[in-house]
Structure 1
Amino acid sequence: MKSLFYSLLVLLCAVPSLHAATVNVSSLSALQTAINNAAPGDVIILANGVYTASTDISISKQGTAAAPITIQAQTIGGVEINGTAGINIVSPAKYIIIKGFKFTFNASQATMASGTSFCRWTRNIFQTPGEGEDLLLNGNDHEVDYNTFQHKDALGRFIAVRGTGSQIAQRLHIHHNYFLDQQPQSGNGAETLQFGLSGYSLSSSNSIVEYNLFEQCEGENELISVKSSAVTVRYNTIRDCPAQFTLRHGNHNVVYGNYFINTPGIRIFGDDHIIFSNHFENCDPAINIGNGDGEVADGDALTVHDRPDRCVIVFNTLVNNTTNYVQSGRTNGLGATSTTFANNIIQGGGPAASIAGPYTSAVWSNNIVYQANGAGAMPSGSYTVVNPLLARDATGTFHLQTGSPAINAATGTYTDVTVDMDGQSRSGTKDIGADEVSTAPVIAQILSASMVGYNGADPAACLPVVASSDDGNVPGNVLDNDLNTRWSANGDGQWIQFCLSSATTVTGAQIAFYNGNTRTSTFDILTSTDGASWSTKATNLVSSGTSLNLETFSITATTAKYVRIVGHGNSVNAWNSYTEVHIQTSSSARQVADETITIKETLSSYPNPFKTTNTITFNLEKDSHVQLSVFDVMGRQVALLVNGNLNAGLHRVPFEAKGLLAGMYWIKLLNNGKSMMKQIIKE
């Protein structure tokens, strides 16, 4: 009876997937009909072409977390929708994915209503003319990623976030977008990203804005305007933008790991913000602590410039800024109270600090000032004049060099300061400034256009193999032709994922299982063409339980670039563990590691294996932009060796691997849209 109940339960849970379909349409009316009839898991594909919308495409359907409804262009950027109407996602829509379109319809025509949730805009181009927002976000738990917002020449924002009543939208994730070319306007209301309004400012959003690139944006004096509480802004690059990032209204916001280059930096109003591990270069000013004209906590209107209270500004690096840390004057200004400015590095540029308003109960502590035009308002005893030994590295940022007096020299606890500008963990006695000297993987850096936007590529997105987790038996072990090494991860749903050099016909997988002669393992096989939308090709496959060698599991031939094996444990415990995996294609069963190297002769490394230093060699057929990176077996970038334009010809780049653990790494060369990879071994 128990077995029968379980079988019925599985059948009932599987019913929605039986309705999933791929629906191809070639008109906006057919698109609307398909949306109206959509079921969870459906993929609706609009044929490439240019379409004119005169009535909104309205979406109110609901997918599920496991089976979202996807509405996508035939190819990324291949569908343009113009006209006077656009896309309107309305309540109770949830789990909707909008992917791959170019929107050139009028501004304010891409909207999401309150009551919507778990929707995603990805790989789209927004270039909407006229006044208004390119994208208006209401509702909760939405994701906006890998979109390009460009060429705005009217009042309005690229993205505006709103809410319901006095509650700002919650748990949004805005990441890896490219904001480009916003022309200056004469009126107010042309921020690049406006997160909330004063009426929402006392509500918490618990949202994350990260890994976005802002270039040449100057709609008005504010670039990013945060007007709500509890927003995390991290790992973004703001470059060559004449507008300023402002914490305009709200409290308890966190700003860290951002790169401010040739821009007016950050301005701060409100209470209890923490700003740490940011990199400021050639800014004017770098950090502006606001001079308040009201105090919301005392009953002043939410629209005032709320006096900053108890803000913590620590562990930042400021280099060659015209103005470093400043508070501007204001008639009858209230200034700021209880501000902490500690463990920062200020090198070059104007005076270290310039304070023109009330600045009561301030804490100044343990800063380094070097080659700046004096300490200015920074009190004696709160700084040391010493060379911090900063040097620009391959990522373009200033890092601490061996022997720096900033290393292990921070004072104070600052438990909220957990990472540096590279995303590396800080523990024990911290280093002064934005950089923590570490051999941990680098997960953040100055962003380039190739890393973000509709056509951006995550540098680790097409490594030969990555996994959801491991126990020290890393995923690269399944590609080393050694049945004595393995990948292992504990728990139902842990996965290992393979990336082919390009989309090809996949027919199955060969898997050798750890202890495969004494236990059976259960798993699924999923495929994807883009690494974002997945199709399940086989479920509840079970190994033989009698072999340590490769076993073949076939699927219906399908076009894919990514293959994911999702484990459900084994007959003894919840561990998933494979010693070798080969992905089978229509031509042959071959290792993914070899497939990703399209022209092996153009990328080489000597010696290999190596101890601490080797030389990477590659040949360019023509002048082009090149990105040369090194990744560990988990797909984490550990070094960026080249990121810029190189001339045609042979290039040799030294790789210094001191501090890296012994093991397998991958060299990745991105050039003219092509990716080449080579495995190297550090002894």
Structure 2
Amino acid sequence: MNNKTLNWIPAAFLLMLLPADAGAANFFVRDVEQFEKYIERLAPGDTVFLKSGDEWKDVNLVFEGEGEPERPIVLTARRKGQTVFTGQSRLRILGKHLVVDGLVFRDGSLSGGSVISIGSRRAESAQGCRLTNTVITDYNPPDRKVNYKWVSVYGKRNRVDHCYFKGQDHTGQSVVVWLNGEPNDHRIDHNYFAGRPVLGWNGGETLRVGTSARSMEDSRTVIEDNLFENCDGEVEIISIKSCENIVRRNAFVGSSGTVTLRHGNRNRVEGNWFIGNGKKRTGGVRIIGEDHVVVNNHMEGLLGRGGRSAVSIMNGVPKSPLNGYWPVKGALVAHNTIVDCVSLFDIGFGAGGRGRTISPSGVRIVANLVRAVGDSAVVIRAKGDVTWSWNVWADGSEPIRDGFERRDVAFSKGALFSSPGDFETLAIPTVEHTVTHDINGHIRTTGVVGCDVFSDSPIRSMPPARRTVGPDWME
């Protein structure tokens, strides 16, 4: 038994256990009053267990403390998935090395703010904190125009992982990363985002990193290994409004929208799966700004056009304000496989509208493998300075432009996506770029178009699926 005396909580709701960390305590708490009374006593390694049930209604819980990297303070459910917050409940996480694990927020609503906030606008408000194995579902107001976020992430080096977000139908993002002037190095991974219906106006993004006003700041947030299903809120499923972020190894299935590099520069979109499943308005990546890299993505069955094309590169505005359309410069679009999409590339999308008169420049479209449907697969609205080289057009009889070579490439259809059957038909000279691996994690030792190379090595990366994302306690 450690030296903490816990006789201030009734025995029915409090047990002292001797965990592996002998300096830590386990607290079993039945209500907010108990939690708030003793929150200041929490020390590194301690765990707070919240009583099971749905009595946690209209509560404003502030989880505050300072853990250590190897000895975080944990807030969790007595039985994961059985502590349910409803009504106007919300949770704030403030401090260092805090973990929230296994809670459920269901069928509630707010008038503003966030359901869960990791940190606050104060730069040092949250560091090394984690939200994991947690559910927010159908937390919607009666009026869909009411704007609040489901999760707001401030501070530095925080993580949102293995969570389940479903059924959001109101204005506001499911997850937002807020900037504070310094790189925040957050990680958002292995989450399940689903069931977001069309909103009908701005504010229906599923995930946003940054804001227009701070879009020239580096965020360095990594968004990886998440599954997005039927996320139809608006054209921007993921809205990047900052610099030096990575979006990789995510799957977008039947989601009517795109990964939009809306503001900011030097972002990388790599190794993702965009599977349209024949659904209208499904798209890939929309590029705005400077020095973006879009490589190793698999795009299939996308029916979107224009800004919802598989790859859309927009025209820009001269001397654009931060909330405008910065001209595209220096983008690399390489080694993507684009199969059976209505619109493969739309270059100069938006030309002329809202002052967008600056064409893309310094753009390289290299070593992509494409197979189109329809007769307008490549749309050039503004020529600009775009170099097309070593791209392969798989079979068909459609006219092709310079920079493509027609080859007879057979595809085999898998459960989720198609793969080329003969990699010898995809060989090209090695080209200069920054792509060292393929979508499966295999090293690129030879020149091959598309996102996949032949290898006898084990596959290191597969599309996220329901069994690999979301809480570990959900079937």
When normalised by structure 2's length, the TM-score is 0.85
Distance 1:352 1:342 in 2: 20
Match of residue 40 from structure 2: 36
Q: Deviations along 1:115-161, whole A, 9 cap, x unmatched?
A: 21100000000122233111011111001100000111111111011
Structure 2 residue corresponding to 1:335, chosen from 359, 362, 367: 359
Match of residue 122 from structure 1: 132
Structure 1 residue corresponding to 2:471, chosen from 454, 479, 500: 454
Matching of residues 467-478 of structure 1 within 5 Å: none
Identity of aligned residues (%): 25
Q: Are 1:392 and 2:413 counterparts?
A: yes
Matching of residues 535-574 of structure 1 within 5 Å: none
Match of residue 358 from structure 1: 382
Match of residue 433 from structure 1: 450
Asked whether the 8 Å contact 1:337–1:359 carries over to 2, the reply is no
Matching of residues 258-297 of structure 1 within 5 Å: 258-262=272-276, 263-283=282-302, 284-285=304-305, 286-295=309-318
The 3 A distance-change label for structure 1 pair 374 and 333 is farther
Match of residue 102 from structure 2: 100
Once the two structures are TM-superposed, the CA of residue 257 in structure 1 deviates from its matched residue by 0.7
Q: Are 1:79 and 2:90 counterparts?
A: no
The 3 A distance-change label for structure 1 pair 243 and 456 is farther
Distance 1:82 1:252 in 2: 40
The farther-off stretch of 219-228 and 286-295 is 286-295
Once the two structures are TM-superposed, the CA of residue 57 in structure 1 deviates from its matched residue by 1.1
Gaps of 5+ in 2: 1-19, 142-146, 277-281
Once the two structures are TM-superposed, the CA of residue 372 in structure 1 deviates from its matched residue by 4.9
Q: Are 1:200 and 2:224 counterparts?
A: no
Structure 1 residue corresponding to 2:368, chosen from 344, 349, 366: 344
Q: Are 1:134 and 2:180 counterparts?
A: no
Asked whether the 8 Å contact 1:389–1:404 carries over to 2, the reply is no
The 3 A distance-change label for structure 1 pair 423 and 255 is same
Gaps of 5+ in 1: 1-15, 458-672, 674-683
Distance 2:241 2:407 in 1: 39
Kindly tell me the number of residue pairs found equivalent between the two proteins.
429
Asked whether the 8 Å contact 1:289–1:308 carries over to 2, the reply is no
Distance 2:215 2:254 in 1: 28
Match of residue 321 from structure 1: 341
Match of residue 155 from structure 1: 171
Distance 2:283 2:115 in 1: 31
Asked whether the 8 Å contact 1:316–1:343 carries over to 2, the reply is yes
Once the two structures are TM-superposed, the CA of residue 375 in structure 1 deviates from its matched residue by 4.4
Match of residue 64 from structure 1: 68
Matching of residues 174-189 of structure 1 within 5 Å: 174-189=188-203
The 3 A distance-change label for structure 1 pair 235 and 351 is farther
The 3 A distance-change label for structure 1 pair 410 and 147 is farther
Once the two structures are TM-superposed, the CA of residue 221 in structure 1 deviates from its matched residue by 2.0
Match of residue 10 from structure 2: none
Structure 2 residue corresponding to 1:223, chosen from 237, 261, 266: 237
Once the two structures are TM-superposed, the CA of residue 393 in structure 1 deviates from its matched residue by 4.2
Asked whether the 8 Å contact 1:369–1:375 carries over to 2, the reply is no
Once the two structures are TM-superposed, the CA of residue 410 in structure 1 deviates from its matched residue by 4.3
The farther-off stretch of 50-59 and 322-331 is 50-59
The 3 A distance-change label for structure 1 pair 176 and 151 is same
Match of residue 11 from structure 2: none
Distance 2:399 2:344 in 1: 10
Report the RMSD for the aligned CA atoms in angstroms. 2.1
Match of residue 300 from structure 1: 320
Match of residue 442 from structure 2: 424
Asked whether the 8 Å contact 1:352–1:374 carries over to 2, the reply is no
Once the two structures are TM-superposed, the CA of residue 453 in structure 1 deviates from its matched residue by 1.0
Q: Are 1:442 and 2:442 counterparts?
A: no
Distance 2:223 2:29 in 1: 34
Distance 1:385 1:25 in 2: 67
The farther-off stretch of 30-39 and 69-78 is 30-39
The 3 A distance-change label for structure 1 pair 375 and 434 is farther
Once the two structures are TM-superposed, the CA of residue 357 in structure 1 deviates from its matched residue by 3.1
Asked whether the 8 Å contact 2:316–2:360 carries over to 1, the reply is no
Q: Does the residue aligned with 1:229 lie in a helix, a strand or coil?
A: coil
Distance 2:317 2:350 in 1: 14
Q: Does the residue aligned with 1:59 lie in a helix, a strand or coil?
A: strand
Match of residue 270 from structure 2: 256
Structure 2 residue corresponding to 1:239, chosen from 238, 241, 253: 253
Distance 1:149 1:316 in 2: 29
Q: Deviations along 1:637-678, whole A, 9 cap, x unmatched?
A: xxxxxxxxxxxxxxxxxxxxxxxxxxxxxxxxxxxx6xxxxx
Match of residue 8 from structure 2: none
Distance 2:238 2:473 in 1: 22
Distance 2:446 2:221 in 1: 30
Distance 1:373 1:201 in 2: 43
Q: 1:94 corresponds to which letter in structure 2?
A: K
The farther-off stretch of 265-274 and 358-367 is 358-367
The 3 A distance-change label for structure 1 pair 35 and 440 is farther
The 3 A distance-change label for structure 1 pair 358 and 392 is same
Once the two structures are TM-superposed, the CA of residue 175 in structure 1 deviates from its matched residue by 0.5
Q: Deviations along 1:377-433, whole A, 9 cap, x unmatched?
A: x32xx1211123332346x333333453114x243121x21221112222x323210
The 3 A distance-change label for structure 1 pair 351 and 62 is farther
Q: Deviations along 1:234-264, whole A, 9 cap, x unmatched?
A: 0100011112221101111111110001121
The 3 A distance-change label for structure 1 pair 59 and 65 is same
Q: Are 1:210 and 2:224 counterparts?
A: yes
Structure 2 residue corresponding to 1:312, chosen from 332, 336, 339: 332
Q: 1:137 corresponds to which letter in structure 2?
A: V
Distance 1:406 1:99 in 2: 46
Match of residue 485 from structure 1: none
The 3 A distance-change label for structure 1 pair 26 and 259 is same
Q: 2:140 corresponds to which letter in structure 1?
A: P
Once the two structures are TM-superposed, the CA of residue 180 in structure 1 deviates from its matched residue by 0.7
Distance 1:141 1:70 in 2: 17
The farther-off stretch of 338-347 and 382-391 is 382-391
Q: Which has the higher strand share?
A: 1
Asked whether the 8 Å contact 1:175–1:212 carries over to 2, the reply is yes
Q: Deviations along 1:259-298, whole A, 9 cap, x unmatched?
A: 0011211111011111111000011244333323325xxx
Distance 2:294 2:150 in 1: 29
Q: 2:187 corresponds to which letter in structure 1?
A: H
The 3 A distance-change label for structure 1 pair 259 and 366 is same
Larger radius of gyration: 1
Distance 1:171 1:424 in 2: 26
Q: 1:265 corresponds to which letter in structure 2?
A: G
The 3 A distance-change label for structure 1 pair 207 and 360 is same
Distance 2:423 2:252 in 1: 30
Once the two structures are TM-superposed, the CA of residue 85 in structure 1 deviates from its matched residue by 3.3
Q: 2:448 corresponds to which letter in structure 1?
A: D
The 3 A distance-change label for structure 1 pair 400 and 34 is farther
The 3 A distance-change label for structure 1 pair 34 and 449 is farther
Distance 1:456 1:429 in 2: 43
